[in-house]
Structure 1
């Protein structure tokens, strides 16, 4: 169905947040080629149903495969929670059994065993990620002794997407959810930022929590996990091109994406607008 030639690593997100994952991956593995696709025209994915998130994610993955990607990271917690398993089990065997689509939830959960002493974990995420219980189920599989408390933060992504994340008005919404989750379980010592937008709220979050609480942003852990994956799968590593080139695609305005991307990456980017169809 797709051309069998070496190609780049694809990174997909519903919007800009996945750039926090892309940034860490590219810094850790700068030799590879990358294509980043943001479905900004249809963001946010968080409140959408499982079926819609799956449909949108499948369309994006198929487009990245058409662009030559051999391996795709769903740098979106909602897509990882609601679409990854179905794509892996149903779509990949039909498209190309040798290509891979990986998510961000498992690599994040794997590091919790080293970080938490109280074994009480807090998950902050979109409504979609929290309602899917993907983090809770994954933690139960790997660390059945852990207690998990989750908190949906529906206003946090809009704050980031609208460049209001550092404004005084953001304080109310950030503090509200932090107070709520810590009141629900005062023994929490590790908070997982279960959305790729949330690292931009890092400074605000740290203001409103006790100093002993570890805040886990996903980028470095996902990057380390991907590097390890390629070491363990040399057959996939051989299918990836290495020209240190990065391309960016968006389903919305090129100008708007470039402006937002410069906030996430601290670098100007060139981006092309595309249309995704099922």
Structure 2
């Protein structure tokens, strides 16, 4: 089998890259739904259907395990698919397939707590709040998944989210550093104004944003810690595979890159991040 990695576009390559580093012998198939990107402004039901279709494509390609390297899909579609669609799909196909997301490992990294942990509500006064900024798509922000799930685990962490609907189209379109820096600086300024100061830490809550992490670092105060989703996702997948040895990730080191959009070479911004030429096949 291979491990599938799914995103609406090229942002999931940041997760894919780290997974390949962590599991160099495993087989990976990456699918970018560029024909329908970005997902952030789409209705919830549409995001669920598009995500399901992407998973089916990867299952059809031989993947038994799919990682949703997309915050919007993870926030809006993942639980629905796991609870209402996957059980029937498994029965119909006789295959033990599964779909994992990236929000759970990100929240574990942000809180330092396992997903199963929930804080006791004792009414103790919080002496010092840790202000956590989340930069994400409009869909992820509207789900309030980070606010809700982090509050369950850490009462001393206050989450403020900033929707950045312009960033994914800019990154997918290969925008230059000046244009990207202007957009990121505006979002950091907007969030900081709403909080009353800059955040203590930040989550880049869209995998596309990892491609321009250096621009976020420059826009935030020096030394502001960034919580990196690719690393936390790789760590979580390693733990998952240890607990489920029946999922075999392949051993040939095969890599395939598929797109529902225009096949061929990706833009210069993506290739600079990737470290060389990168071409997608038609899905």
1:76 aligned residue (67, 70, 95): 70
Number of matched residues? 264
* Pair 1:206-2:200 in alignment: no
Question: Residue 129 of structure 2 contacts residue 158 of structure 2 at CA under 8 Å; is this kept in 1?
Answer: no
Partner of 2:36: 42
CA distance in 1, matches of 2:84, 2:37: 24
CA distance in 2, matches of 1:211, 1:228: 33
2:281 aligned residue (268, 272, 276): 272
SS, match of residue 146 in structure 2: helix
Partner of 2:189: 179
Q: Using a 3 Å threshold, how does the CA distance of structure 1 residues 150 and 143 change in structure 2: closer, same or farther? A: same
CA distance in 2, matches of 1:271, 1:38: 9
Residues 88-144 of structure 1, C-alpha deviation per residue, up to 9 Å, x if partnerless?
Answer: 0011101117221000111011011349x8522111001111011122122122223
Partner of 2:169: 158
Unmatched runs of 5 consecutive residues or more in structure 1: 1-6
Give the Å deviation of 1:171: 2.6
Give the Å deviation of 1:10: 0.3
SS, match of residue 79 in structure 2: helix
Partner of 2:46: 52
Partner of 1:113: 111
Give the Å deviation of 1:270: 4.6
Q: Using a 3 Å threshold, how does the CA distance of structure 1 residues 254 and 132 change in structure 2: closer, same or farther? A: same
Partner of 1:148: 159
CA distance in 2, matches of 1:249, 1:62: 13
Question: Residue 134 of structure 2 contacts residue 161 of structure 2 at CA under 8 Å; is this kept in 1?
Answer: yes
Q: Using a 3 Å threshold, how does the CA distance of structure 1 residues 55 and 120 change in structure 2: closer, same or farther? A: same
Q: Give the TM-score normalised by structure 2.
A: 0.87
Q: Using a 3 Å threshold, how does the CA distance of structure 1 residues 137 and 33 change in structure 2: closer, same or farther? A: same
* Pair 1:101-2:111 in alignment: no
Residues 175-221 of structure 1, C-alpha deviation per residue, up to 9 Å, x if partnerless?
Answer: 11101212222262110000011012222222221124212221111
Mean Cα displacement is larger for which, 15-24 or 252-261? 252-261
Question: Residue 258 of structure 1 contacts residue 271 of structure 1 at CA under 8 Å; is this kept in 2?
Answer: no
Q: Give the TM-score normalised by structure 1.
A: 0.89
CA distance in 2, matches of 1:169, 1:269: 23
Unmatched runs of 5 consecutive residues or more in structure 2: 114-127
* Pair 1:133-2:127 in alignment: no
1:217 aligned residue (205, 223, 228): 228
CA distance in 1, matches of 2:277, 2:181: 29
CA distance in 1, matches of 2:180, 2:11: 17
Partner of 1:255: 264
Partner of 1:3: none
Give the Å deviation of 1:242: 1.4
Superposed CA RMSD in Å reads: 1.9
